[in-house]
Amino acid sequence: MKVTLAQLTARFDALSARERGLVAAALLGSVAFIFWVVLIDPQMLRRRMAEQSVAVQRGQIEMLRAQVAALASPTQSPEAIARREIESLKKQVGETGERLATLENALVTPQRMSRLLESMIGGRSNLRLLSLRTLPVMPVLEKKDGGGKPGATQADQRKTQSVGEKASAIAETGGLFKHGVELQMEGGYSDITEYLERLEQLPQKLLWSSFSLSGEKYPKVVLKLTVFTLSMDRTWMTF
């Protein structure tokens, strides 16, 4: 049996003033409860969750700050810091060793470079070798000057120097060295061009450092070419 709005109104009007006040208060309380559940409570829940998240992040930041402060603490011995640096360097050397070997195999060896350059001129009457000289062997990565830190004691500086020498030895053992040759030759322009093209087509490559042509004796041209190869062996090439 359906109750109409008119019937509800009639029933409400039949109540005493005190009863009507109680019913109205109950209705208002129900509306306020629904409003709280639907709108207010979710907002407060999200706010509490956000505050908890911020608190967690602040705790993580404080923990990271404490770790950074511990790492930067002057109480750490220079030996411990140096040992970590050496271990890191050893790891880098080990990781790059295979790649350096691959690169070395793709290039002409230092032992063959000068003979190869000279042999490619021989038998060609239009080309004449003017000079061929080797250049000093240079490390691809220059050593850094490991000076002592300001305020360090002489004992600390000696320890740092000793560690630096060990690190340099590690770097030099697993390092890469540049072996260069400076070549000057004379010939016709087309002969010089052909020579350079044959150099580029070699199965094992040479790296070019500098290149210049002089036409003061035209039609003869003087080529000055500096090429180099890379090797993990510091020993200079043999002729």
Q: Which tens digit of pLDDT belongs to each residue from 168-185?
A: 444 444 567 888 999 999
Burial grade of 10 (CB within 10 A; 0-12, 13-18, 19 or more)? exposed
Q: Which residues of 31-56 are buried (b: 16+ CB within 10 A; e: fewer)?
A: eeeeeeeeeeeeeeeeeeeeeeeeee
Nearest one of 129, 231, 101, 220 to 172, comparing CA atoms:
231
pLDDT band at 224 (very low <50, low <70, confident <90, very high): very high
8 A C-beta contact, residue 222 and residue 184: yes
> Could you tell me which of 111, 115, 117 has the C-alpha nearest to residue 236?
111
pLDDT in tens, 177-211: 888 999 999 999 888 898 888 888 888 888 888 88
What is the distance between the alpha carbons of residues 107 and 230, in angstroms, rounded to a whole number?
7
Residue 101 identity:
A
Tens-digit pLDDT profile for residues 14-66: 667 777 677 667 766 665 666 555 555 555 565 566 566 666 667 777 777 77
As given in the structure block, the two tokens for residue 186 are 């004379």
Give the pLDDT of residue 222: 92
Is the sign of the CA dihedral 237, 228, 232, 141 positive or negative?
A: positive
**Partner residues linked to 184 by β-bridges:** 131, 224
Cβ–Cβ under 8 Å, residues 27 and 12? no
Q: Quote the tokens at residue 36.
A: 């709280």
**pLDDT classification of 163: cutoffs 50, 70, 90:** very low
Model pLDDT for residues 101-144, shown as the tens digit of each residue: 777 777 888 888 888 888 887 766 688 889 999 899 888 776 55
